[in-house]
Amino acid sequence: MKKSLENLSRCEKNLSENNQEFCPYFVKSLRNISEIIFTQESLGKNFQKIHEVIATLLPVDGLTLLLYTDSFPSSEGEYHFPKEVSKDMAYLRTQMIEHMLEINKPVTSIIQSSDVTSKSQHVVPSKEHTSYIGVPLQHQSKVLGVLIAYHHNGHFCYQAHHEQLLIFIAQLLSLSLSSLKQQQEMQTAQAQLKAANEELEKRVEERTQHIKAANSVLEQQILERIKIEEKLKHDAFHDALTSLPNRALFIDRLEHTIKAYQRQGSAEFAVFYLDLDRFKLVNDSLGHIIGDLLLIEVAHRLLDCVRPSDTVARIGGDEFCILLNEINSLQNMQDIANRVLAAFQVPFEIKANSIVSSTSIGIRTSYEGASSSEEILRDADTALYHAKEKGRNNFAAFDDTMLQQVTRRILIEELLHEAVKNDEIYVYFQPVIDMKSRRILLFETLARWHTNEHGVIAPNEFIPIAEETGLIERLEQCILRKALKNLCLWRKQFPQLNHIGVSLNISSQQFMQNTFVDDILMTLKKYQLPSSCLYLEITEALLINHFDAACTALKQLHENSVHIMLDNFGTGFSSLSYLHHFPISIIKIDRSFVNHLEEQDKNFSLVRSIKTLATDLQVKVVAEGIETSEQADKVQDLNCEYAQGFLYSRPIHEEDMEDYLKNCERWHPELN
């Protein structure tokens, strides 16, 4: 204490003389305080040393340093030496601090145990007390906190020079704390910057690795995309089943060939258009899997028949095209066609199935001119149609007459749609005569078509077109309706003709309809006609190709008294061995066997054999196409029950039937 007082006296002397320079000892003490603050130890640990230095300058029993915080005053940022004050004293001290900060000036106080007796400077204590000096810590007008020194000597009271001394210490402490704070903030900022740099480097490294991984994935995706694009490009121009070029690629190559031919006059070329004969039968009987395998094998055989410079393509279904480049002659082209046909003569061995499948070929060469790929394919397809008409397992080269026929066919197909829609197909009736009684058994219903612009179109021309286009069902329903409607009118007008019936031809398309039998019976019921008046004419091909369905349908018709006639016998399979499976009541021998019928002619022997077998099966026979009395006599000598032909009557228009029935006396004497 004595030493402190001495040092204080020296400082006081310097201050009292208004000396601008502090005593060296005081300056050294202030420097010590600054050094203590900037040591590596925390401020709390160094606060004792600060107290020891200040104690050498003025009487002080304890120090309290309160650093300004958001919750100031509080225990946060509060340092004491040698010990914390009591709660009561702390409360009173807090009031002093608030007053000091309010006036923003140092405060010297005497605080008794019970209350604050004075807040004025230069107070003389009346009893034992604690003397306080409170100085704000400021730097650049910013409050950093407060420094409070206190002394417990009841007879001592801090004076103005003590306060002035503590102000200098507070200024140094403020400067040091501010510098320390800046240094700490800088260190913190540097640490944060270092951490941020390390984090940035870490993120950059992670991002770099991520980019490398992403690039690797992207490269893989690009490779896969290239593969997919190549596959899509391949699939866009190749058939998925056979891997042959498809229609688009074939047309593209054909276009290039045509342009080269037109521009450079290069060698002749040819296009083969072919399909498999009866391929549908393979799919229906063996299944589509076997059918697909057959198409693959067909592709292989076609490739073996041509050169690498030629193109074999699958156009669709069982249709293929071949582009032959640089053919030397028409004979060379025909040799290749025969080579293709020969390749199909060897059975295809597919999954324990030996399949014999022939092909038909339509040929279009550049010798007829090279215009466009569409026209060349059209012409080759037209030639294919004619090759099939000539007989399957054949080829045909295109010529202009084929195009004329196709053009007419397209015209007829267009007109036929309108004719069926507008009910422009008429029916004619031709009688079938009982050879013994000379009475009319029935009238065969025949479809006829007359156009204003193109005249009469024969049934053998428009009926096949109706079958191919699906119009045959509507056409035959119309014919059935008209036949039964006319028969109903005749029976009402001529009651004595109630035994007469009508017959009409049934196509396989109509026969295979699920409602076929019901439609027939409902139409009969509509016109109030017995089922026995109706005769349905079917072909041998229908029975053979639809055996099971035919058995079921014909049995139902027979049970309902509808008669079944086998038409054009002798032109198809010509076998009676299967007839016992079906309720056939009448066989119609084709007119080709009746024409030129002579006793020594082989046709006579054939007709006689047919009649003998039919008699054994209890089936009656109609001889078609009788035009002369000699033919009628021969048929009667063979004991054929019925006859039909121009000798008895030509087909009669439905509008003329009433006059025919009124005036005809020869074939129905009951009308006389």
Indicate the length of the chain as a whole number: 672
| Whether the predicted model's global pTM rises above the 0.85 cut | no
Asked if the model's pLDDT at residue 15 lies above 50, the reply is no
Phi/psi of residue 568, each to 5°? 55, 40
Supply 570's token pair: 């002798």
- Tens-digit pLDDT profile for residues 438-449: 889 999 999 999
Residue tagged 């000091």 (tokens): 100
- The 10 Å CB-count burial string (b at 16+, else e) for 335-371 is ebbeebbeebeeebebeeeebebebbbbbbbbeeebe
- Tens-digit pLDDT profile for residues 135-153: 888 877 777 788 888 887 7
Task: Name the pLDDT band for 255 (thresholds 50, 70, 90).
Answer: very high
Alpha helices (runs of H) in 287-431, residue ranges in sequence order: 288-305, 330-343, 373-390, 400-421
Q: Are 134 and 146 in contact (CB under 8 A)?
A: yes
- Tens-digit pLDDT profile for residues 616-647: 888 899 999 999 888 888 888 888 999 999 99
Asked if the model's pLDDT at residue 672 lies above 60, the reply is no
Rounded mean pLDDT of 2-30?
Answer: 53
Asked if the model's pLDDT at residue 235 lies above 60, the reply is yes
Asked if the model's pLDDT at residue 266 lies above 80, the reply is no
Average pLDDT of the chain is: 82
Residue-level pLDDT at 102: 76
Residue-level pLDDT at 483: 94
CA–CA gap between residue 500 and residue 506 (Å, rounded): 20
Residue-level pLDDT at 618: 87
Task: Name the pLDDT band for 116 (thresholds 50, 70, 90).
Answer: very low
Task: Name the pLDDT band for 127 (thresholds 50, 70, 90).
Answer: low
- Tens-digit pLDDT profile for residues 148-197: 888 877 677 888 888 888 888 888 777 777 777 777 788 888 888 888 88
Asked if the model's pLDDT at residue 528 lies above 60, the reply is yes
What whole-number percentage of the chain has pLDDT above 70?
85
Phi/psi of residue 368, each to 5°? -85, 5
Rounded mean pLDDT of 395-418?
Answer: 85
Task: Name the pLDDT band for 38 (thresholds 50, 70, 90).
Answer: low
DSSP-derived 3-state class of residue 83: coil
Rounded mean pLDDT of 251-257?
Answer: 92
Lowest-pLDDT range of 174-178, 365-369, 560-564, 609-613:
174-178
Residue-level pLDDT at 75: 52
Asked if the model's pLDDT at residue 495 lies above 90, the reply is no
By CB neighbour count within 10 A (0-12 exposed, 13-18 middle, 19+ buried), where does 33 fall? buried
Rounded mean pLDDT of 501-529?
Answer: 90
